[in-house]
Chain A
């Protein structure tokens, strides 16, 4: 593995392990092992649904989180009941990490009636409101104002809950980002916007690199323009993410002011399950980032510190794969939604459907 300092040279401003000091493998080893298992789980889930996509069992668009696992895992570790989570369409891990039933998630991808949203949304529109997950959305940037409004509502109701609003680098050029973050900064002046923005910078909006979309590539600084304080973190390093996540979440909870964290990461797989990643980036680049795979980095650390041994690693993987084959089997064997379901949930209230049948 290359030295960390070398790998971090390009993303200026990321704190080093030494500077952070406080969080260490030794002090929260068991917890790290738990989080490692979660990261493996969401990785194996994404691999399983990718196979489903290739077999034609998952339709439409599907976007997986492979390579980015440390971010959602770290930030959702700071989730407290009553908080709300909202993201775009790369949404499988967020809902899984909140404890939703993976069978319901997989069944949704398979377009089944047992799916999380009854087969009406698919991969891009997972929802589990009871668990605080307010949705995956398909219009880049379109969900950012929703997260800001939800944060306002949480303070309006005088709670101390917060919203974690996840967004990608690709959403930072659209007007929604600027309008929503401006509102957040404004409402935050009165302590009315407990919104934590988590910028998952995987460096590509589909196939277009950040450098090819903006002259101001130090992305998190765009939050400065709207009075929203911010920092960066190495999105491949779970411990680093954890430290920032807990600190930032508490700060937002206490102040009611928004805060933004840019987590630098890399999607080591295509944007959507159907694109050709080597058209817009080199094998060398992909291989370089694969060496900084967040699960690999954590695994190495846990092995080095004796919190896991090779057998335990194997066992975790095997168990997860076994669980996932049950999950996949459930999705495959579930029935398609009944046709009557076409006409439900259009409207709330008595008349769910207003058209002719």
Chain B
């Protein structure tokens, strides 16, 4: 299996699918001649030409709406948000049109659209360029929302996203574009709605998605080393649809759960996770489910402040210890 970066995996999936399917095209700010702000689409304009790799003006609402129109006529546009933070300007189109038009047209149209870009923080972009969007978009029926973390999942889920006849919000871990992993060859997609057990364990479930999965894996190592605790790490990876079964099964086994999210505490995916667990695995729980979330502040700039604004190893490890009624460290 070849090793590639998160960035290469994304590009590979899009380029391979563009080779296979002429209805796939790319749109976004500086994705063509410039090669993409994060170099995800570098070189693709030379390969596929400007009709299929469209550099847009800075107008998220306008070009996202145009992409929806294209999708309604059968094209499969992949729209890049330079950062998901800019998608607030396009959110009216994503939510009010893409998510709903199939329903309010009585099923007469499909919107095979992918909107993708870096989500979350970790690279000192400060308040207006740092947001985690999973709970916002995950709220709306009609959308599918995914947040892969490994290069293999990025490729496989992008293939699935492009082939899905519905609008897909594809949240990339922007801070991880340079990380490497093994990526299978071939055109196999990774299905939505299936969580990944990133590490098996027996004592506590650490449930997360995106960049925080890597944090949870580090914490699991640490718990094993420092406390002799066997933590299971669940990578939710698909926010809508959400794989409730894998979460519930894990908790039935471990009887304890910590839900970790980079975003703010209230109304987030971690809250949803805790809610599902109490509804479906209440009798299996040996301790309350704990959420670990970002600090209730706009994302700060300074490195140390930004690190402090997001969940860290110690917080997650201590949350796990609390569920085990062990002393915090």
Stretch among B72-80, B149-157, B316-324 lining the A interface = B72-80
Nearest chain A CB to B86 CB, angstrom units: 13
Q: How many residues of B are in contact with the other chain, CB < 8 A?
A: 44
Chain B residues closer than 8 Å to A176, beta-carbon distance: 61-62, 65
Does A294 touch B at the CB level, under 8 Å?
no
Determine whether the beta carbon of B108 is less than 8 Å from that of A117.
Answer: yes
A112→B92 CA distance, assembly (Å): 28
Quick check: B59 and A179 within 8 Å, CB to CB?
A: yes
CB contacts (< 8 Å) of A179 on chain B: these are: 57, 59, 61-63, 65
A137 to B61, CA, bound (A): 15
Known: A175-B61, A354-B241. A118 touches B66 (CB 8 A): no
**Closest approach, in angstroms, between the C-beta of B236 and any C-beta of chain A?**
15
Contact yes or no, B51 A129, CB < 8 A: no
Contact A84 B73 (CB under 8 A): yes
Q: Determine if B304 is an interface residue (Cβ-Cβ < 8 Å).
A: no
**Binary contact track B131-144/A, C-beta < 8 Å → 1, others 0:** 00000000001101
Could you tell me if B166 and A150 are in contact, using CB atoms closer than 8 angstroms? no
B93 touches A153 (CB 8 A): no
B65 near A142 (CB under 8 angstroms)?
yes
B65 near A144: Cβ-Cβ < 8 Å: yes
Whether B104 lies near A121 (C-beta < 8 A) is: yes
B-facing residues in A143-185 (Cβ within 8 Å): 143-154, 156-157, 175-176, 178-180, 182-183
Q: How far is the CB of B57 from chain A (nearest CB, A)?
A: 6
- Residues from chain A with Cβ under 8 Å of B105 in the complex: 117, 120-121, 125, 127, 129, 135, 345
B residues in contact with A156, CB < 8 Å: 25, 51, 70, 75
Q: Tell whether, in the assembled complex, residue B66 and residue A149 are in contact, meaning their CB atoms are under 8 Å apart.
A: yes
Q: B73 to A153, Cβ gap below 8 A?
A: yes
Cβ-based interface call for B195 (8 A): no
Q: A118-137 toward B: CB 8 Å interface, digit per residue (1/0)?
A: 11110001011100001101
Q: What is the CB-to-nearest-CB distance from A254 to chain B, in angstroms, rounded to a whole number?
A: 19
Residues in B whose Cβ lies below 8 Å from that of A86: 69
Q: Once the chains bind, are B141 and A354 in contact (CB under 8 Å)?
A: yes
Q: Which residues of A contact B69 (CB under 8 A)?
A: 86, 134, 145-153
Is B56 part of the binding interface, using a Cβ–Cβ cutoff of 8 Å? yes
User: With the chains together, A121 CA to B109 CA distance in Å?
Assistant: 13
Q: Which 9 pairs of residues, A with B, have the shortest CB-CB distance?
A: A179-B62, A149-B69, A145-B65, A117-B106, A149-B66, A146-B69, A345-B107, A348-B165, A179-B59
Given contacts A125-B104, A145-B68, A145-B93, 8 further A-B contacts (CB under 8 A): A117-B105, A150-B73, A153-B69, A153-B70, A156-B25, A345-B107, A346-B103, A354-B241
Q: Which residues of A contact B (CB under 8 A)?
A: 84, 86, 115-121, 125, 127-129, 134-135, 137, 139, 142-154, 156-157, 175-176, 178-180, 182-183, 186, 190, 192, 344-349, 351, 354-355
